Amino acid sequence: MKKKQIQTTGASEASLVYATQIEVNTLPSATPQQK
């Protein structure tokens, strides 16, 4: 996040985290360890 050279990577990571958050929100008991 601090590195501006990997802006694309940061965006991809944000998307991944967003998708993961949705999954965790949809099934928290199925994936409690999933961050």
| Token pair for 27 | 């099934």
Q: 16 vs 33, which has greater pLDDT? A: 16
Which residues, including other chains, have CB under 8 Å from residue 28's CB and lie 6 or more apart? Answer: none
pTM of the model: 0.35
Using CA atoms, how far apart are residues 7 and 25, in angstroms rounded to an integer? 27
Which tens digits make up the pLDDT trace of 15-28?
Answer: 888 878 777 777 65
